[in-house]
Chain A
Amino acid sequence: MTEAAYLSMQGLSKAYPGVVALRAANLEVRRGEAVALMGANGAGKSTLMNVLGGVTAPDAGSITIDGSPVRLRTARDALAHGIAFVHQELAMLPSMTVAENVFADGFPTRFGIVDGATMRRDAAELLVRLGCNLPTDLAVETLGPGDRQMVEIARALRRAPRIVIFDEPTSSLTNNEKRRLFEIVQGLKRDGVAIIYITHFVDEIFEICDRVTVMRSGSTVATRAIAETSPTEIVRLMLGEADSGERLADEASSAGPLLLEVSGLCGGILRDIDFSLRAGEIVGLWGLLGSGRTELMRALIGLDPIDAGALRWRAADELRPVTPNELHQIAGIVTEDRRGEGLLLPLSTRANLSLASLRSLLTPLGLIDRNKEEGLAADLIGRLHIMVSGSAQAVGTLSGGNQQKVVVGRWLATEPRLFLLDEPTRGLDVGAKSEILKLTAALARAGAAVLVISSEPEELMRICDRYLVMSRGRLTAQMPGSATRAELLSAVSATPLRMSAA
């Protein structure tokens, strides 16, 4: 047994009403070692880190630092114990200088006035030690994400922490910036700092981490030395051994005509995306978090801007060029965030269902025909088995599954020929999941082209006719519907391959 852990989190549990976030989770980090913390969405990583950061109080469990038990009740406690975070969402003050941002949580003063000279000098020193030559009086808003992250790291390291947590640090970095980050991590290790490295990019952890802890459903399921495991094993541990449910969609025997053709799409993190969709087929957009799947959907309908690329859509029997905004008027989209971007919570179920179809529900005078609207609502409620006590019920009071059905229902009413579904079963119980999946299958049977994002391969396997695999903003592979779970997992755990012909 090698040296004892510097940081030891044991048996941590936390439950919220209706959800168990942590179930006796454990994590240990030694001095000078980097432990990767991995797990799918909802696995409990964030909650565990919130406990460590003093933001969340655990229901049970203990934390020991350097042999002594500690209680982290506030963020200040965490700071006082030498814990520093480099968050995924940078806390930057755009119009202020690099030096000011580094010292934002503790400006140096001399006789009551902010000591600009010392601030700039010390900030420069910190940055140089990180391998960064930024002039410290530049406004942060002029910097790219990689340099901004350097400023954030400098701020975190200012207090010489003994434990540093990096949360998804490489999502927006160029290759060079990533190298720089890895060198910083190595440097910190050499200084004896204990590092927790959270990421979805399995390949990275094999470069700089010494051990990996995998969480799933709130517990720690495994801890391995990096040298003794493989990317495939890690992904398997992350996603568990769930049984695939029964197949819910018929194989699209002969797929219909080509409806959508995308070529050379670039924008944000997306690069050179080429693919096409046929009527009646369900295509799974598969990849780990951060691969750009949501970004792709949003770009297709103009919610995010695109820099380059051509879209073509079938109209009157041939493919014609179309803009994302026009596609928005044709497609139905179920976003990831149904409460934030999908539903109007205080409004009634009926109003939510009819929102995109109002123009087809008018009386000759231009008023909304209440009977037609009620008819539409009743029809959708019946078809989708939405559990409401009446179409007037406020959508905010429905259960997650029923809320999701309302979102799907809204688009169903517009009879779209293209359906984009982003994590449509997230947060739903098993029964609701099946129902949504069956609905998705029905959409395709009705002749629409369906693109589905899910982080659970079993789900995709129940309905998809083929898969598009994404990684870091690129389409890295296309796989047929007959792909096995193992094949899907290895497609995302290996380093990006060149796209193979479908």
Chain B
Amino acid sequence: MSSFGRLATFLLQNGFLVVLAAVFAFFAIFTNTFLASGNLIDMLHAMSPLMTISAGLALVVMAGKLDISVGSVAFVAASVGTLLMTRLGCPPLLALAAALSAGALLGALNGFIVVVLGVNPLITTLGTMIAFRGVGLQLTNAQVERLPEGVRELGNWSVGPFFGDTLIALAIVLAVDLLHRRTIFGRQLTAIGNGEDVARRIGMPVDRLVFVAFVLSGALAAVGGVLDTLQIGAISAYLGKGLEFNAVAVIVVGGVSLFGGRGRILSSVVLGALMFELIRNGLNHLGANPYAYRLVSGAVIFAAMYADALKSRVRRAAVGAPAPGEA
């Protein structure tokens, strides 16, 4: 292979890390405040809800499907929990349980539509994304609802130098990663992502597995919504808006393929979320136009998806298999 070819292959496989390092270096050099340790802690804190939601989404993507309703699920679940506390005076733990159940239930609804009704997951979650947001808006009447006093303080809970929710999020991502790599469930999901027909031929209960993946995605989206609400201290109609896209971006940029079946969840989610948080935080410190973030992150996502598609084509060409849509 020519040296150019070798460079290209290296970039394709590890380009992400290179870019991450470059971005970090860029902001470290060009701002004063970026490198302060407090800032790094803050970044991890801000990343926590996104990491949690991305972990759940990663399971669904690993099985070769997609769930773009996670932002709306986060919103509904967090609304349910919050309203139970503020309107009905529920104790926080019960409200938390309700929020998680709500998320799981909505995930189950997604799973039902995909597996039982056989509707394409893209359309399903596009529809539920809008429908669920409607539900949430109806519940909260699009008003901001502040968390009760005692609960609101939880948002600042820290363990040592780190924020509590950072540790929770990391623990969750670790748990999901272990689920993916070391349990039969995780291995079978990966198998489905490799080839649903092959998985069926081997005898795996594909429908059941996909359903459970959606339930987990919903439950973890709920957790993410809860964490986000705790950080802000209130529920607002904008919670989770666009979050689904950020979660997809995190996963793709981090290396989990949208075609399914490959990637490491722990490194993808953490590094992917870090990438976007770096950009956001760095642009902030640079005093840049706040809207630049969307543009820059959009460009990063596009590049990552292109790399994903390119890698997929290279793989398929090596085997001689047709592209999706060609056969």
Q: Which residues in A have some Cβ–Cβ distance to B below 8 Å?
A: 75-76, 91-96, 100, 104-105, 107, 109, 112-114, 116, 141, 268, 304
Contacts and interface: CB of A to CB of B under 8 A. Distances in A.
A93 B203 contact: no
10 contacts: A76-B203, A93-B190, A95-B261, A96-B187, A96-B190, A96-B261, A100-B187, A105-B203, A114-B187, A268-B320
- The DSSP consensus for interface residues of chain B is helix
Contacts of B187: 96, 100, 104, 107, 114
B191 A114 contact: no
Interface string B291-327: 0000000000000000000000001001110000000
Given A141-B315, A141-B319, A96 B191 contact: yes
A337 B70 CA distance: 42
Contact of B194 (A95, A107, A109, A116): A95
A109 B184 contact: yes
A114 B184 CA distance: 6
A181 to B, nearest CB: 21
A104 B188 CA distance: 8
B202 interface: yes
B154 to A, nearest CB: 32
A100 B181 CA distance: 11
Contact of A95 (B190, B199, B203): B190
Interface of B: 182-184, 187, 190-191, 193-195, 198-199, 201-204, 261-262, 315, 318-320
Contacts of B184: 107, 109, 114
B202 A91 contact: yes
Contacts of B202: 91, 104-105
A93 B195 contact: yes
A94 B183 contact: no
Contacts of B195: 92-94
A93 B201 contact: no
B188 to A, nearest CB: 8
Given A95-B194, A95-B262, A114 B315 contact: no
B191 A93 contact: yes
Contact of B191 (A76, A104, A116): A104
A93 B198 contact: yes
A91 B204 CA distance: 12
Given A91-B202, A95-B194, A114 B261 contact: no
Nearest to A340: B327
Q: Report the 7 A-B pairs with minimum CB-CB distance, sorted nearest first.
A: A93-B194, A95-B262, A91-B198, A113-B182, A91-B201, A105-B202, A93-B191
Contacts of A112: 183
Contacts of B198: 91-93
Contacts of B201: 91
A93 B261 contact: yes
Nearest to A95: B262
Contacts of A268: 320
A116 B183 CA distance: 10
A95 to B, nearest CB: 4
A268 B319 CA distance: 10
Contacts of A95: 190, 193-194, 261-262
Report which residue of B183, B190, B198 has the largest number of chain A beta carbons within 10 angstroms of its beta carbon: B198
Given A95-B190, A104-B191, A114 B183 contact: yes
Nearest to B203: A105
B191 A94 contact: no
B183 A113 contact: yes
A141 B195 CA distance: 13
A118 B254 CA distance: 31
A271 to B, nearest CB: 16
Given A95-B261, A105-B202, A114 B182 contact: yes
B183 to A, nearest CB: 6
Nearest to B259: A95
A95 B201 CA distance: 17
B198 to A, nearest CB: 5
A100 B204 CA distance: 14
Contacts of A91: 198, 201-202
Contact of A96 (B194, B203, B320): B194
Contacts of A104: 187, 191, 202, 204
Nearest to B191: A93
Contacts of A304: 320
A174 to B, nearest CB: 16
Report which residue of A96, A100, A116, A268 has the largest number of chain B beta carbons within 10 angstroms of its beta carbon: A96
Nearest to A341: B327
B221 to A, nearest CB: 25
A105 B205 CA distance: 11
Given A109-B184, A112-B183, A116-B182, 10 more contacts: A91-B201, A92-B198, A93-B199, A94-B195, A104-B187, A105-B204, A107-B184, A113-B182, A268-B320, A304-B320
